[in-house]
Amino acid sequence: MSTAAVGTPPVTLDTLNPKVLKCEYAVRGEIVTHAQNLQQELQKNPDSLPFDEILYCNIGNPQSLGQQPVTYFREVLSLCDHPALLDKSETHALYSSDAIERAWQILEKIPGRATGAYSHSQGIKGLRDEIAAGIAARDGFHASGDNIFLTDGASPAVHMMMQLLIRSEKDGILCPIPQYPLYSASIALHGGSLVPYFLDEETGWGLEVDELKKQLEEARSKGITVRALVVINPGNPTGQVLAEENQKKIVEFCKNEGLVLLADEVYQENIYVEDKQFHSFKKIARTLGYTDDDLPLVSFQSVSKGYYGECGKRGGYMEVTGFSPEVREQIYKVASVNLCSNVSGQILASLVMNPPKAGDESFESYMEERDGILSSLARRAKALEEAFNSLEGITCNKAEGAMYLFPRLHLTQKAIGAAQAAGTAPDAYYAKRLLEATGIVVVPGSGFGQVPGTWHIRCTILPQEDKIPAIISRFKEFHEKFMDEFRD
Amino acid sequence: MSTAAVGTPPVTLDTLNPKVLKCEYAVRGEIVTHAQNLQQELQKNPDSLPFDEILYCNIGNPQSLGQQPVTYFREVLSLCDHPALLDKSETHALYSSDAIERAWQILEKIPGRATGAYSHSQGIKGLRDEIAAGIAARDGFHASGDNIFLTDGASPAVHMMMQLLIRSEKDGILCPIPQYPLYSASIALHGGSLVPYFLDEETGWGLEVDELKKQLEEARSKGITVRALVVINPGNPTGQVLAEENQKKIVEFCKNEGLVLLADEVYQENIYVEDKQFHSFKKIARTLGYTDDDLPLVSFQSVSKGYYGECGKRGGYMEVTGFSPEVREQIYKVASVNLCSNVSGQILASLVMNPPKAGDESFESYMEERDGILSSLARRAKALEEAFNSLEGITCNKAEGAMYLFPRLHLTQKAIGAAQAAGTAPDAYYAKRLLEATGIVVVPGSGFGQVPGTWHIRCTILPQEDKIPAIISRFKEFHEKFMDEFRD
């Protein structure tokens, strides 16, 4: 006896987990699929489109646009992948001596020097200790390797925390709007409620504690138990860097309201303005005198961002403080189910938190690569921001940090009408037209959330510097035509 | 106004997601934590315990116990991690020429040769095509790179499918008992119901379709919608290799009952007996004439197992066939939320599915390493199986494949009583006593599930061959004393 209806496939959209259906992830959504199709068209028939390449400005993926990896990091990874090299004299002709020494040190931290073994579920202890030392040096406050959970990039760490905290749609997570859609996707997948708080575009995407309070109370009045506050600093997609005083108020807010503070700090190295500095939320909390007993706080970090931009390596960690031992044990258990994160990513996470020091053979070339990338990113951010602001109907806040600009499109009624006629959001319509005219891929603001009735796009600052002028002029030309076409 | 009760921490066991609390993962459970503590004790005070090292036989982690990585694979990974080497003449002194050539070929498959970029959400297309070619060569049936989803080991792939299929506790997944606890953990985390089917220990852990039918109908009579059948072949923890005829019946069963077939085939290279062969379920389905339209079928593969045992690299893939384009799109979306799996793991997955061929410079040494590992594993499996079977009160099926033995402990009433007095399951009690007497870490059968009233342990066959005699004699000595102590 079978209860399966004849002819009905075992899995249809109607019988899928509805949480999966609900989840959206615009950074790799429709516009990117469209771009990939155009790219294939271009390969088959190079003259078929009004541009000769697709420029992926939709995703913070620096090396896909030509950024070179940091040599020292790759030397160490290469040696750890093939430790037999370390015994050979010829190796000195190919690798810097401090990379060789560092590879030895890393192997000594790995039980049996086995880079091919599952590690401890939290990651290799010696590497976690090294990361903790890096955090302590950054913050001026103690950090412990026992609090580090190494993960395959930051995304699985975010999922892990959502999984832990969300019991049902009555559990809410305060998230900035605009937000990086990993958060909305993860909350949807885990069946919780996203409680939005709006960043203030007028004040450079300011994060106001009054707005947090208002939204928290509104959520509570609807019967939502708000479990955590997500803060992305530097901001994604918004690029702002929080001021220390503002961060203090946020910490106090979490403490007073009994919220877990989930601090997305993956852009901590990406600061492009002189008057702003990165302060970790843990440093802020400790400065305020809060200890491990006062405030559950998770900081996410990734090797994908910074000046290194090693997205393909999937390395990252979360520093977990302020939870009871029993809750910590549950986090450990969930980490254990996936055994461990990839060991190359673990090694790289330890390297970025403890890069070459003055006096090391690679130090000067390392600093040159690092500063070259960061100063170029700062110039690119400024050039693109100025270009956006020079255009009719576009206003754009500064990218103080991170890798994105999030310009606002002041679209005409006629343009909005054309989008509606095409059955898409106005910013999605604009992004599609931009892509088809220029090959530039950006993400519509609707993928990140925005104040209703406002329209934006997220554009990375990552194309190589020599391409920026051409991008700007292609963009300008498209935009002017678009404005002319849709002038009310 | 705060609704957080003063003094109550924001997160306690009572306010955690109960699905997390419910989830168990014995492979890294209590016994392993105990072992890690003993190991620390041993480091501090080497004479404090009756053994001088901890032998981790709890987990299929070959390189942690001294298995060496396959040289050719590591050469290629090392080169891809530092592509600048490929332009240098000195590189030829350190790497085999076919590894250099292969690294070039791989880089050509990666857009921009950027091993540090996020890849396509399913993994790098060229590598997926190579894996598909490997599958086609293995099975004699077409495979497509479009159906491959590269993942960080097999575990995230299993989670992805559970996430897709499980809507509530009314959705069930048929799982073997004993099973690899990733399945029970993932089903618990996603809030579904595990529908057990029992493997028959008497017939060498036989998988009977009658048993599947019985359990399916029982679940349905309780209102459970059974969505999928998990089959682990070769078996974990049970080590059996399914016969082709048996597999055909399983495929027909899934087809008739409208179930997704989730085929855990991560031990496909690990076969130790001459009269058994690995057949993928896809090959079986195609042999029966079923096409992509007939049967949703997912095959999981991992670089952690096989003769390569590259657990730390977290590479793996699932081959997804028989789903509608709309459902496929949902799988793609979920994969996209995590961006991509680590690129080194992706490269390694392509290497294990397309290793050196006759005529390549590395072919002979590669085959020597491969066959050396596999034949040694076969000898170790046999030696341990014979040792277990030589002992009073232990019976043990052959390990035809995989990396484990799952001997049954016929414990006395007195031993069972002692365990009850200690508040643990009898097999957990045995495992703890074994650890404390010998340093050997095994996983109690209760972590995998077993017929009620029967007791087992899972023990890997992975300690290096020269250590096996000592392990056997330590085990024997412990076991005899244990039997004497608890003779009824």
A327/B2 CB distance under 8 A: no
Rounded to an integer, what distance in angstroms lies between the CA atom of residue A132 and that of residue A109?
A: 14
**Per-residue pLDDT tens for A31-46?**
988 999 999 999 999 9
Torsion of CA B199, B205, B209, B213, to 10 degrees: -10
Q: What is the Cα gyration radius of chain B?
A: 24
DSSP assigned state of B180: -
- In the predicted structure, residue A3 carries a pLDDT above the cut 90: no
With CB atoms and an 8 Å threshold, state whether A163 touches B84: no
Q: A197-235: buried (b, 16+ CB within 10 Å) or exposed (e) per residue?
A: bbbebeeebbbbeebbbebbeebbeeebbbbbbbbbbbb
The position carrying tokens 């004849």 is A6
Query: Is the CB of residue B310 less than 8 Å away from at least one CB of chain A?
Result: yes
Q: Using CA atoms, how far apart are residues B374 and B306, in angstroms rounded to an integer? A: 8
Average pLDDT over residues A71-98: 95
Distance between CA atoms of residues A292 and A367, nearest Å:
35
Given B8, B94, B112, which is nearest A85 (Cβ)?
B94
pLDDT band, residue A27 (cuts 50/70/90): confident
Inter-chain CB proximity B25 and A345 less than 8 Å: no
Provide the pLDDT for residue B27. Answer: 72
**Mean pLDDT (whole number) for A91-105:** 96
Average of per-residue pLDDT values in chain A:
94
pLDDT in tens, A283-305: 999 999 999 989 999 999 999 99
Give, in degrees to the nearest 5, the angle at Cα A312 between A260 and B157: 70
Interface confidence (ipTM) of the complex: 0.95
β B404-405/B455-460 pair status: antiparallel
What does residue B416 show for φ and ψ, rounded to 5 degrees? -65, -40
> Measured between CB atoms, does B116 come within 8 Å of chain A?
yes
**Domains of chain B by residue range:** 13-66+373-485, 109-352
Give the largest CA-CA distance in chain B: 76
Task: Specify the pairing of strand A443-444 against strand B171-177.
Answer: unpaired
Q: Which residue has the tokens 């690092």?
A: A370
- Contacts for A221 with CB less than 8 Å, ≥ 6 apart: none
The b-or-e profile of B348-359 (16+ CB within 10 A means b, else e) is bbbbbbebbeee
- Does B6 have pLDDT greater than 70? no
CB atoms within 10 A of CB A379: 14
Q: Is cis: bond before A234, omega within 30 of 0?
A: yes
A8 touches chain B (CB under 8 A): yes
**What confidence tens digit (pLDDT) does each residue in B177-200 have?**
999 999 999 999 999 999 999 999
Q: Does the pLDDT value for residue A4 go beyond 70?
A: no
8 A C-beta contact, residue B282 and residue B298 = no
- Tens digit of pLDDT for each residue in A313-324? 999 999 999 999
State pLDDT tens for residues B300-330: 999 999 999 999 999 999 999 999 999 999 9
Contact B94/A at CB under 8 A: yes
B227/A contact by beta carbon, under 8 A: yes
3-state helix, strand, coil in chain A (%, to 5): 50, 15, 40
pLDDT at B73: 98
Nearest to B385 by CA among B393, B394, B376: B394
pLDDT value at position A485? 96
- Pair A441, A435: CB distance under 8 Å: yes
CB contact under 8 A, A313 and B61: no
Q: Is A23 exposed, middle or buried (0-12, 13-18, 19+ CB in 10 A)?
A: buried
Residue of B nearest to A303 (CA): B116
The CATH class of B13-66+373-485 is alpha beta
Residue A55 pLDDT more than 70? yes
Residue B289 has pLDDT above 60, yes or no: yes
CB pairs under 8 A between A and B: 300
Give me the residues of B, 258-277, that contact A with CB < 8 A: 258-260
Of the partner residues A2, A74, A91, the one whose CB lies closest to the CB of residue B94? A91
Name the band, by pLDDT with cuts 50, 70 and 90, for residue A28.
Answer: confident
For the record, the structure tokens of B87 come out as: 């332009």
Cβ-based neighbour number of residue A361 at 10 Å:
15
pLDDT value for A6: 52
Which chain A residues contact residue B88 at CB under 8 A? 94
- Residue among A239, A233, A402 at smallest CA distance from A305: A402
Architecture of domain A109-352: 3-Layer(aba) Sandwich (3.40)
How many Å lie between the alpha carbon of A391 and the closest alpha carbon of chain B? 32
Select from A12, A257, A304 the Cβ nearest to the Cβ of B2.
A257
pLDDT number for residue B24: 86
**Measured distance CA(B132)–CA(B125) in Å, rounded:** 10
Who among B21, B88, B185 is closest to A337 (CB)?
B185
Please give the residue of chain A at the shortest CA–CA distance from B80.
Answer: A78
Q: Which residue of B has its CA nearest to A192?
A: B17
- Interface membership of A468 toward B (CB under 8 Å): no
Q: Cα–Cα distance between B113 and B204 in angstroms, integer?
A: 49
Contacts of B486 (CB under 8 A, 6+ apart): B411, B412, B414, B415, B418
Give the orientation angle of helix A30-44 with respect to helix A426-438, to 10 degrees.
Answer: 20
What is the Cα–Cα distance from A379 to B442, expressed in whole angstroms? 58
What is the average per-residue pLDDT within B104-126? 95
Query: What does the mean pLDDT of chain B come to?
Result: 94
pLDDT tens-digit readout, A380-393: 999 999 999 999 99
Please name which of A150, A82, A88 lies closest in space to residue A116, comparing C-alpha atoms.
A82
- Check whether the bond before B181 is cis (ω within 30° of 0): no
How many degrees, rounded to 5, is the angle at CA A395 between CA A394 and CA A400? Answer: 135
Alpha carbons B456 and B199: distance in angstroms, whole number = 14
Q: State residue A29's pLDDT score.
A: 77
Half-sphere exposure of B464 (CA within 13 A, CB side): 9
Q: Give residue-wise pLDDT tens across range A222-232.
A: 999 999 999 99
First to last CA, chain B: 66
Residue B218, C-beta contacts closer than 8 angstroms, at least 6 positions apart: none
Closest CA to B125 of B159, B160, B150: B150
In contact, B343 and B119? CB cutoff 8 Å: yes
Contact A316, A301 (CB under 8 A): yes
Among candidates B82, B164, B220 on the partner chain, residue whose Cβ is nearest the Cβ of A74: B82
Task: Provide, rounded to the nearest whole percent, the portion of chain B with pLDDT above 90.
Answer: 94
pLDDT for B5: 47
Closest CA to A232 of A257, A211, A250: A250
> Does residue B93 surpass a pLDDT of 60?
yes
- Pick A330's closest partner by Cβ from B1, B21, B159: B21
Instruction: Give the nearest chain B residue to A12 (CA atoms).
Output: B327
> Angle at which helices A468-485 and A363-389 pack, to 10 degrees?
20
Residue B303 Ramachandran class (φ > 0 left, ψ -120 to 50 alpha, else beta) = alpha
Given pLDDT bands bounded at 50, 70 and 90, which one contains residue B1?
very low
Question: pLDDT grade, residue B7 (50/70/90)?
Answer: low
DSSP bridge partners of A27: none
Closest by CA to B411, choosing from B424, B396, B430, B398, is B430
Q: What are the residues facing B300 on neighbouring strands?
A: B264, B318
Q: Does B82 touch chain A (CB under 8 A)?
A: yes
Query: Which pair of tokens denotes residue B293?
Result: 């339209």
Is the CB of A39 inside 8 Å of chain B's CB atoms? no
What the block records as the tokens of B426 is 């009898």
Tens of pLDDT, residue by residue over B53-90, are: 999 999 999 999 999 999 999 999 999 999 999 999 99
Fold of A13-66+371-485: Aspartate Aminotransferase, domain 1 (3.90.1150)
pLDDT of residue A473: 94
